[in-house]
Structure 1
Amino acid sequence: MNTLEQKAIVNINPEQQKKPTKQLKVSLIYGVAFTFIIAVLGFLMAKLPWFDHVGPLACAILLALVYRQFFGYPEKLRAGIQFSSKILLRFAIILYGLKLNMVVIFSDGLPLLLRGMGTIIFSIVVLMVIAKWLKADLNLSLLLSIGTGICGAAAIAAISPIIKAKDDDTAMAVGIIALVGTIFSIIYTLIYPLLPISPTEYGAWVGISLHEIAHVALAAAPAGQDALTHALLAKLVRVFLLIPVCFIFLFWMKRKGKLNGEAKLEFPWFLIGFVIMSFVGSYILGQKIPISNKTMSDVSVFTSFILTMSMTGLGLNINLKELRTKSIRPLIAIVITSILLSFVTFFSL
């Protein structure tokens, strides 16, 4: 190699090395900014009539889905979008632990613990049996069964990395459960005046059978404060059970991986963060460290916003053609399961 060639290599290589790094930084910054903008639009859209029942997560997924179909996947922003859909998703799950008040659960919610376990087992078993009978996509159905049994989108987001679910399956599951949960919560409010039960019994039924915390609040609020308190307590018990359920699936996936000769499963460290934050919120904030309800409300909104940004990233992976063919049977399965769950939990009051 002559001197001229060596000089050329010295002059070119640094630029070639810097270029990918600069592109990665640009992709990361603009990609995160893109999911931020869609999340803001999702929150604004959720203030509109009807969409206010669906919630910002589903609205953001819908906006991302529409963008994907008209403009395609923004490849230049992939790094930032993946950062939102993976890193921010785990961060949101950690913050979600602040919603879990273990003091209330351990003092007042223990009688509801068995009923919460029953709801989770019933939802997973029944939905998966129906899905198998309908020949529905089993991975998507499993996500829906866990979301139905525990706490909707948050449970789906927490379990997805553990069972190695595809991003588009996760996004579809969140969208489906938001739609079904909204419909059921509206039906609950319509039939409540016709039911021969007390407000507290109605609240317990709502909390033990509906999908998301937002759905529980929507359905229970018209019955009064007592009903809402019992509903949220019953729901918090199911959120608490997210922790053992995740570890059960972690053990199952590890065993499945060993049997199939797969690589070692990465431990979901964000679950440890979820547990730590639940203890912080239950035993430190508000007791040893004074904190106002407004501050906690702001943290809750921030958590929802971060989760909405991550759902935007997941929603961009949805192919409309696949959505039509892949989601119909799991949708039927979750509707049937939700109807059965409503009847079973009602007659067990």
Structure 2
Amino acid sequence: MSVFSHIKNDKLSSLSLFAIGLVCIFLSYIFLNFNIFISPLIVAILFGILLTNLFSNRVKFLKSSTVLLVATKQILRLGIIFYGFRISFADAKYVGIHGIGLAIFIVVLVFLLGLIMARILKIDFITSALISAGAAVCGAAAIMASATTLKADEKQIAIAVASVVIFGTVGMFIYSVGLNFLNFTQTQIGFFIGSSLHEVAHVVGASARYGDEVMKNAVIIKMLRVVMLVPLLLFLAFISASKTSKIKEFLPYFAFYFLGAILLNSLINIPIEILNIINFIADMCLCVAMFCLGLNINKSVVKNFGFKPLLLAIFLFFILMIFAYFYIKILI
């Protein structure tokens, strides 16, 4: 293929990915009108999986372009940085010290227990770290961010994302049925939902039926877990660096920009119109990255999911609920 053919293919791929990102966001809004909360990220992943398995010949031009590599690295990181504008220090103040403590407790405990269980099950470190990060922090976005630090391959990423999609969605529907049997206050219900579900969209979907106060608490707790992505990535960079490698080769510099976005949003009163634009850009970037990930998940990857990663995902699913319950019951 000539240089000009490559350029033409890349332009066509870029336009196609932009259009697909818009479609995924649009579809999530359509679902929202029916009180179905599905993250555009999840829509994008599923869309990518569907296309690559049903119309593999039609998406070959996307896979052969250099755009996919850019989408799963630079565009993904840009989306995560802009995601930081959804969080502020005022959120932490609203839920108080117990809310902050709950978010830190859940992320640290779930991630470490995930690694310990993975050693018992003899699962490779990268796969176990991705599954644990997805459960502990913020689902698919945490997995993709961690994958760039750990140099994970498509199969490892696909397995981790599948665990988030399956068990986060199951948890969302279980919580939506009712949590009255827990004998929690409205505040405690919000804290429980925000601390024990995988994706932000799962949290929104599960808390919507309980009212605005519950949803607000739930989303804030979840976003505090998202903030923990920064120390998690630094930790992964530290343990990934060998004696012959320098830690700066693994250091996720975009995590500092993510933190800077949070700081800027906390110190400056950014107009809501600008924030809406930033949030849209973040969703677009993340949708494009997730769609490209979905293109790499074919039938063979699904078949090779494996029983042990499934056990780890189930273990973390229950650990999230159990430890969130006892923390809230004892301390809040």
Aligned residue number for residue 337 of structure 1: 316
Residues 154-183 of structure 1: per-residue CA shift (max 9 Å, x gap): 222222211111244334423431332121
Q: Secondary structure at the match of 2:138?
A: coil
Equivalences for 1:1-349 in 2 at 5 Å? 19-20=2-3, 22-46=4-28, 47-48=30-31, 52-69=36-53, 70-72=55-57, 74-75=60-61, 77-105=64-92, 108-254=95-241, 257-258=242-243, 265-286=249-270, 291-292=271-272, 294-349=273-328
Would the alpha carbon gap of residues 258 and 75 (structure 1) be closer, same or farther in structure 2, given more than 3 Å must change?
A: farther
Does the aligned pair in 2 maintain the 1:203–1:228 contact within 8 Å?
yes
Out of 106-115 and 226-235, give the one that drifted further.
106-115
Q: Read off the aligned partner of 1:71 and give its amino acid letter.
A: S
1:264 to 1:125, Cα distance in 2 relative to 1, 3 A: closer
Question: How many Å apart are 1:136 and its aligned residue?
Answer: 4.0
In the alignment, structure 2 segments of 5+ residues that lack a partner are none
Task: Specify whether residues 68 and 262 from structure 1 end up closer, same or farther in structure 2 by C-alpha distance, changes over 3 A only.
Answer: farther
Task: Report the AA paired with residue 145 of structure 2.
Answer: A
8 Å CA contact 2:82, 2:281 repeated in 1: no
- Given that 2:176 and 2:209 are in contact with CA atoms closer than 8 Å, whether structure 1 keeps it comes out as yes
Amino acid at match of 1:110: I
Residues 199-247 of structure 1, C-alpha deviation per residue, up to 9 Å, x if partnerless? 1111111112211222112222222222122212222221222212211
For the Cα contact (< 8 Å) 1:119–1:208, is it kept in 2?
Answer: yes
What are structure 1's unaligned runs of at least 5 residues?
1-15
Deviation at 1:95, TM superposition (A): 0.4
Q: Which range moved further: 157-166 or 49-58?
A: 49-58
Distance 1:347 1:98, change over 3 A: same
What fraction of aligned residue pairs are identical, expressed as a percent?
Answer: 25
Q: Do the aligned partners of 2:38 and 2:201 also contact (CA within 8 Å) in 1?
A: no
Amino acid in structure 2 at the alignment position of 1:31: S
Residue matched to 1:5: none
Which of 1 and 2 has greater Rg? Answer: 1
Q: CA deviation at 1:307?
A: 0.3
SS of equivalent to 2:297: coil
SS at match of 2:305: helix
Q: Deviations over 1:111-168 (max 9, x none)?
A: 3233222211221232233334444454223112011111112222222211111244
Q: Are the aligned partners of 1:57 and 1:311 in contact in 2 as well (CA < 8 Å)?
A: yes
SS in 1 for 2:234: helix
**Match of 1:74, as an amino acid?**
K
Post-superposition CA distance 1:301-330 (Å, at most 9, x none): 331121011111122122321222135532
Q: SS state of the match for residue 71, structure 1?
A: coil
Distance 2:313 2:196 in 1: 13
Change in CA separation of 1:99 and 1:78 when aligned onto 2, cut-off 3 Å: same
Kindly provide the amino acid, as one letter, of the partner of residue 276 in structure 2. Answer: S
Alpha-carbon distance in structure 2 between the residues aligned to 1:54 and 1:132: 33
